[in-house]
C-alpha cells in the first residue's frame, strides 16, 4: 500500500535533532577530534580576545576529555528571548553564540554558532563548570538534553573566573570513539605557537608520559625551524617573519626556502583554526610572494631569455606557517578546512608582495639564492615541457572534435576539465582561461568501466575521447605523454552529477591508476545554491552550508531580503559565476583524488558499481543511504 504524501509526512527537526540525524554535516565522524577542536577553539577565542592566558586539556581515564580556561566564563544570566541561562542556550540551541558580530569577539574561529552545541548533541554526557562573578556554577547534560539545571556549588574570589567543559563522545556517531592524540597534540602545539603567551597544558591520565606543556612568547619562526628537523634552508640564520596588522586583518607568517625540498612544511590558520585545505589566504600569500620574486629578478636582470617564473616555481621549495586573523571569515562548511573569503586573498597578496619586496631588497644575497631556486625550477619545467610529446593534428589519433584545447604548451600549468554535458561545456569554455584551461564536454553518464577490461574500454566513444585528449593509454605505467598537469572532473552538484563523478573516478582508478598515483586527478566542487542578500551574493556547496550561510546573514542583517536559487546544473550558471566558483584557482574548490588503501578503495567501488553486488548494494542503501552526502 502506498504511503499518503500530505502534511503529516513532513518532519520538523528541532533543537539538536538535526545534528544527531546527520552528524556528518556538522562534524568529522572518523573520530571525536573535531569535537575537541570546537571546545578548545572556544577557549582560544577567549585568549585571542585578551581575557584568558591558560588552557588545560585533560584526557581522563574514562576516555572523556575536559577543557578548562581562565577566561570570563560562559554567561549564566537569563537570555531574554529564550528564558534560559546563557550557558544552556549555547549548549542546546544551534546557531547561538556571541561570535556573529564583533561586539564580544573581534577575531574568532567559532562563527557559525553550532560548534559546542554539536559537541553536546554527539556526547552521551557533558558537564559544564563556570567560575564567574564570585560564584562557581555547574550544569549537566545527557544526550544533548539538560538533566541538571544551572546551580551554585560554591562561593569563590571574584578574580577567579573561567570555564571547564568535560564531555563523553557517543560511540554510535563515530568510526572510533577514541581521540587521535597525536593529531590533537599537534593542534595544541600549533595553538600555543600561534598565540604567543598562551600557557597550554595537556594532561594524559591514561598514558601520563604523553603529558606535555607549551608556552611560546615569540615562537612562530622557532616552530617552523623545529619542524624542518635541521634541513638546509634559506635564509640560514632565521626564517623571514612577516607581521602586519590593520583594522580588518592581522597577518603573521614565518617562511624559508629549502634547496633540497626533502621536507616541506606548509601550515595555514585562520583565527587559529587550521585550514588544512588552504583557501584564499594561502592563494593570496602565494601570489604576493611570486610577484615580489619576479620583480626582484626583473630589476636585477636575473631571468634568462624566454624564462618566466610561475607561482609553482617559487613555491616548490617554500616552507611556511601562515596565521591570519580576520573579523568575518567565510569557511567552507562547519569543519572549516578551507577559507573562502575573497577579500582576504586580495589583502594577503598586497601584504605578502610589499613585505617580501622589502625583505628581498634588504637581504640581497639570500634573495638571489631564493631567485636562483625559482629560476632553476622554471628551467626544469621548460625542459620537461619540451620533452613531452604534444599531440597535434597529424601526430597520433586526432584530438576529439569537442575538445576546446588551451594554447600553452607548458604541461605543468595546464588543466583539462571533463565537463558534464554540452550546455555546461559551453559555459565552461566562456569561463576558462584560454591559455591554461582546456574543456572536454561529455555526453551524460559515461560507461561504467569498473568491470570492463582495459583492452576493451576504448570501445566507448567517451572514454576514447578522454584517453586521446589526455595523451595516455589505459593502464599505461608512464605519464610522459600526458598533455595536462591537472585533470579536473566537473559535474553538477546534484545526485546525477555525483553519479557521473563517481563513474569518472572509477575510470581513473581502474584504468588510469598512474594519473591518480601521481596526483593528477581532481574533482571540482561547484555550489548547489546561490544566496542573494541585498547586494551581497553568497554561494553554498550543499544544504549544510546553505543553512549556516543564511543563518549568519539573518543574524548580521535581520531585515535584509534573502533569495535562494538552487542551480539545476552547471549549464544554468552564467560564465562569470562558473569562473568565480569553480574554475578560478584562487576561489574554486578542488578535491585531489588519492588512494589511501587499495583494498578499501576496491571494496568501495565494488559495492557501488559491481553488477554482482546489486543485492548487497540495495541492502546497503536501504540501511545507510540516508547518511550519504553529495
Report d(CA 65, CA 50) in Å as an integer. Answer: 25
Report d(CA 52, CA 199) in Å as an integer. Answer: 10
Residue 414 C-alpha cell reads as 595546464
Does 175 participate in catalysis according to the annotation?
Answer: no
In which residue are the cell numbers 585578551 written? 50
- Which residue among the candidates 201, 327, 328, 494 is catalytic per the annotation? 494
Tell how strand 162-169 and strand 562-566 pair up: unpaired
Count of residues in the chain: 630
What are the respective helix, strand and coil percentages of the chain, to the nearest 5?
40, 20, 40
- Which residue among the candidates 204, 496, 517, 602 is catalytic per the annotation? 496
- Based on the number of CB atoms within 10 Å of its own CB, is 337 exposed (0-12), middle (13-18) or buried (19 or more)? middle
In which residue are the cell numbers 535581520 written? 558
Report d(CA 275, CA 394) in Å as an integer. Answer: 47
Q: Reduce the secondary structure of 606-622 to three states and give it as a string.
A: HHHHCHHHHHHHHHHHH
Residue 416 C-alpha cell reads as 583539462
In our burial notation (b when 16+ CB lie closer than 10 A, e otherwise), range 256-290 reads: bbbeeeeebbebbbbbbbbbebbbbbbbbbbbbbb
Report d(CA 126, CA 131) in Å as an integer. Answer: 17
Instruction: Please give the C-alpha separations between residue 532 and each of 229, 280, 340, 549, in angstroms, as whole numbers.
Output: 49, 21, 17, 11
All residues at 6 or more sequence positions from 123 whose CB lies less than 8 Å from its CB, including other chains: 35, 141, 143, 144, 167, 168, 169, 170
Does 420 participate in catalysis according to the annotation?
Answer: yes
Residue 177 C-alpha cell reads as 570513539
All residues at 6 or more sequence positions from 251 whose CB lies less than 8 Å from its CB, including other chains: 242, 243, 244, 245, 322, 323, 324, 325, 347, 348, 351
Helix, strand or coil for residue 153? strand
Does 496 participate in catalysis according to the annotation?
Answer: yes
In which residue are the cell numbers 615580489 written? 292
Q: Do 28 and 335 form a contact (C-beta atoms < 8 A)?
A: yes
Within 10 angstroms of residue 424's Cβ, the number of other Cβ atoms is 26
Report d(CA 147, CA 168) in Å as an integer. Answer: 15
Strand partners of residue 145 = 142
Does 494 participate in catalysis according to the annotation?
Answer: yes
- Which residue among the candidates 313, 492, 547, 580 is catalytic per the annotation? 492
Instruction: Please give the C-alpha separations between residue 488 and each of 418, 465, 474, 521, in angstroms, as whole numbers.
Output: 6, 15, 18, 6
Report d(CA 214, CA 203) in Å as an integer. Answer: 12
Contacts 24+ apart (CB under 8 A), 78-81: none
H or E stretch covering 498: helix 495-511
Report d(CA 316, CA 269) in Å as an integer. Answer: 20
- Which residue among the candidates 405, 412, 420, 580 is catalytic per the annotation? 420
Rounded to whole angstroms, the maximal C-alpha distance in the chain is: 88
Helix residue ranges per DSSP H, 512-613? 513-517, 543-556, 575-578, 598-609
Instruction: Provide the annotated active-site residues.
Output: 420, 492, 494, 496
Amino acid at each position: 500500500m502506498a504511503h499518503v504524501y500530505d502534511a503529516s509526512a513532513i518532519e520538523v527537526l528541532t533543537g539538536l535533532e538535526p545534528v544527531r540525524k546527520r552528524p556528518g554535516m556538522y562534524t568529522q565522524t572518523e573520530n571525536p577530534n573535531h569535537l575537541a577542536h570546537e571546545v578548545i577553539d572556544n577557549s582560544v577565542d577567549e585568549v585571542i580576545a585578551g581575557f584568558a592566558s591558560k588552557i588545560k586539556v585533560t584526557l581522563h581515564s574514562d576516555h572523556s576529555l575536559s577543557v578548562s580556561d581562565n577566561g570570563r566564563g560562559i554567561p549564566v544570566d537569563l537570555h531574554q528571548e529564550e528564558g534560559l541561562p546563557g550557558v544552556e542556550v549555547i549548549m542546546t540551541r544551534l546557531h547561538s553564540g556571541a561570535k556573529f558580530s564583533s561586539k564580544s569577539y573581534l577575531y574568532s574561529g567559532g562563527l557559525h554558532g553550532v560548534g559546542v552545541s554539536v559537541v553536546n548533541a554527539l556526547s552521551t554526557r557533558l558537564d559544564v563548570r563556570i567560575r564567574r562573578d564570585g560564584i562557581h556554577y555547574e550544569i549537566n547534560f545527557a544526550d544533548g538534553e539538560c538533566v541538571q539545571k544551572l546551580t551554585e556549588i560554591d562561593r569563590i574570589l571574584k578574580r577567579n573566573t573561567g570555564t571547564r567543559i568535560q564531555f563523553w563522545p557517543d560511540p554510535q556517531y563515530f568510526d572510533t570513539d577514541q581521540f587521535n592524540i597525536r593529531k590533537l597534540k599537534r593542534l595544541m602545539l600549533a595553538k600555543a605557537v600561534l598565540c604567543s603567551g598562551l600557557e597550554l597544558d595537556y594532561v594524559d591520565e591514561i598514558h601520563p608520559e604523553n603529558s606535555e606543556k607549551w608556552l611560546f612568547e615569540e615562537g612562530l619562526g622557532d616552530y617552523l625551524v623545529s619542524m624542518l628537523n635541521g634541513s638546509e634552508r634559506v635564509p640560514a640564520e632565521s626564517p623571514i617573519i612577516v607581521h602586519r596588522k590593520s583594522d580588518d586583518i592581522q597577518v603573521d607568517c614565518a617562511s624559508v626556502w629549502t634547496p633540497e625540498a626533502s621536507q616541506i612544511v606548509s601550515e595555514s590558520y585562520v583565527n587559529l583554526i587550521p585550514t588544512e585545505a588552504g583557501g584564499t589566504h594561502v592563494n593570496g600569500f602565494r601570489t604576493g610572494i611570486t610577484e615580489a620574486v619576479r620583480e626582484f629578478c626583473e630589476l636585477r636582470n636575473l631571468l634568462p631569455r624566454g624564462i618566466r617564473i610561475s607561482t609553482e616555481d617559487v613555491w616548490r621549495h617554500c616552507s611556511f606557517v601562515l596565521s591570519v586573523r580576520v573579523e568575518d571569515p567565510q569557511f567552507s562548511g562547519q569543519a572549516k578546512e578551507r577559507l573562502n573569503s575573497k577579500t582576504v586573498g586580495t589583502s594577503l597578496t598586497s601584504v605578502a608582495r610589499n613585505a617580501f619586496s622589502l625583505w628581498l631588497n634588504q637581504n640581497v644575497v639570500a634573495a638571489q639564492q631564493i631567485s636562483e631556486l625559482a629560476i632553476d625550477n622554471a628551467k626544469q619545467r621548460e625542459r620537461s615541457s619540451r620533452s613531452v610529446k604534444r599531440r597535434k593534428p597529424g601526430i597520433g589519433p586526432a584530438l576529439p572534435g569537442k575538445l576546446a584545447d588551451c594554447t600553452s604548451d607548458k604541461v605543468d600549468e595546464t588543466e583539462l576539465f571533463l565537463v558534464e554535458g554540452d550546455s555546461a561545456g559551453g559555459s565552461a569554455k566562456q569561463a576558462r582561461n584560454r591559455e591554461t584551461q582546456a574543456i572536454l564536454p561529455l555526453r551524460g553518464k559515461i560507461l561504467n568501466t569498473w568491470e570492463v577490461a582495459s583492452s576493451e574500454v576504448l570501445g566507448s566513444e567517451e572514454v576514447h575521447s578522454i584517453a586521446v585528449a589526455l595523451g595516455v593509454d589505459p593502464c599505461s605505467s608512464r605519464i610522459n605523454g600526458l598533455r595536462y598537469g591537472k585533470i579536473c572532473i566537473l559535474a553538477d552538484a546534484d545526485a546525477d552529477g555525483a553519479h557521473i563523478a563517481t563513474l569518472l573516478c572509477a575510470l581513473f582508478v581502474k584504468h588510469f591508476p598512474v594519473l591518480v598515483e601521481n596526483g593528477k586527478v581532481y574533482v571540482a566542487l561547484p555550489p548547489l545554491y546561490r544566496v542573494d542578500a541585498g547586494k551581497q551574493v553568497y554561494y553554498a556547496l550543499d544544504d549544510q552550508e546553505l543553512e549556516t550561510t543564511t543563518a549568519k546573514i539573518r543574524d548580521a542583517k535581520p531585515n535584509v531580503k534573502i533569495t535562494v536559487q538552487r542551480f539545476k546544473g552547471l549549464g544554468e550558471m552564467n560564465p562569470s559565476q562558473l569562473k568565480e566558483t569553480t574554475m578560478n584557482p584562487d576561489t574554486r574548490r578542488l578535491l585531489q583524488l588519492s588512494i589511501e588503501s587499495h583494498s578499501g578503495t576496491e571494496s568501495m567501488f565494488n559495492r557501488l558499481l559491481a553488477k554482482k553486488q546489486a543485492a548487497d548494494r540495495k541492502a546497503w542503501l536501504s540501511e545507510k543511504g540516508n547518511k550519504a552526502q553529495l
